[in-house]
Amino acid sequence: MKVNGPKDIVGVERPAGPKDARPQATAETPPPPSAEVRAADRVTLEAPQVAEMLIGARQRGAAARTGRLKELEAALKGGTYRPDVGQLAEKLLSAAEVDARLRAMMRG
């Protein structure tokens, strides 16, 4: 599919401009929720809390990755590493298919 400009895109609602930023209620769409409902639905986090959560997630991910890499290294050194050849072949074929599709798109 070739798209020459925004007019070629069908079925996508364009974002409201500054003049009509608030959606209008119609028979198909209900009116926007009241301020009371919107305030009750909000969740806020302080910057230090977010930073702590990110640091913790990064450390847990790094620890899990380090542990998995050590297991793989030990299996390689011990000669017990046996990759799943079916899974490996599937990934290779999938990557080749994506590559072929991208090349065809670039030509077309």
Which residues are CB-neighbours of 31 under 8 A, at least 6 positions away?
A: 25
Residue 59 vs residues 37, 67, 71: alpha-carbon distances, Å: 37, 12, 18
Tell me the pTM: 0.37
**Residues 50-63 pLDDT 10s:** 888 888 998 888 98
Q: Give CA–CA dist 59/57, Å, rounded.
A: 5
Q: Give CA–CA dist 102/108, Å, rounded.
A: 10
Q: Give CA–CA dist 94/86, Å, rounded.
A: 12
Cα-Cα-Cα-Cα dihedral sign, residues 64, 65, 67, 71: positive
For every one of its 108 residues, what pLDDT tens digit does the chain have, with 9 covering 90 and above? Answer: 566 666 655 555 656 555 545 555 555 666 666 555 555 666 666 778 888 888 899 888 898 999 999 999 999 999 999 999 999 999 999 999 999 999 999 997
**Residues 9-20 pLDDT 10s:** 555 565 655 554
